[in-house]
A = this chain, B = another copy of it.
Amino acid sequence: MTEKGKLIVISGPSGAGKSTVVNRAIQGRDDMCFSTSVTTRAPRPGEVDGKDYFFIDEERFQEMVENGELLEHARYVAHSYGTPKAFVEKQMAAGFNVILDIEVQGARQVKERSPESVLIFILPPSMEELRRRLENRGTDSAEVIDARLRRAREELKEASIYDYIIVNDKLDEAAAEFAAILKAEHCRYAHRRHLLETF
């Protein structure tokens, strides 16, 4: 029997290095996948339905919201985005740990609708270092950077809903912590309770 996967939600300020940590941690593993979101926006050139997103219309989106088919959803600019519950559960049943990279509000919705999900908040070592990283990217104006830092401070205030905090100071250690959390969560009583029934 394939062991059921876990739903892993990661959040953290822009510039904390979420993707870098996760990509390092899942390198070479065949038991991990990213969630695919539904969206009402049109596909961009090269985007593939069912891979980059599930592209749906506003009517179907509203239906999914009303039927409780989404683990979380949000509106950005003029479009809606959400995480389809059935898709995530199918991946987990097939043994995949599903990674969901979303903001704090979405993480809160997921925890409510899927209490056994694992919420990880990824922190930069300090605000000064976060500023340095954003500046070194060279993609944002000073104004945008200030806005991102303000946003980061707000997100930090909400971090108490998360199960774990990883500080992305040394990448290898942060990735090792991510992997350890995943392994530990597979040892949780609730995840292994069924083993006791075989005794």
Interface residues of A (CB under 8 A from B): 120-121, 123, 126-127, 153, 156, 159-160, 162-167, 176-177, 179-181, 183-185, 187-189, 192-193, 195-196, 198-199
Contact of A196 among B156, B187, B192 (CB under 8 A): B156
Copies of this protein chain in the complex: 2
Bound Cα distance A192, B153 (Å)? 17
Known: A123-B195, A126-B199, A199-B156. A163 touches B183 (CB 8 A): no
Q: 12 additional contacts, CB 8 Å, given A123-B195, A160-B193, A181-B184?
A: A153-B199, A160-B189, A164-B192, A165-B192, A165-B195, A165-B196, A176-B183, A179-B180, A180-B180, A180-B181, A180-B187, A183-B184
**B199 pairs with A187, CB closer than 8 A:** no
Q: A127-B199, A195-B123, A196-B156 are contacts. A164–B189 as well, Cβ < 8 Å? A: yes
Contact B166 A196 (CB under 8 A): no
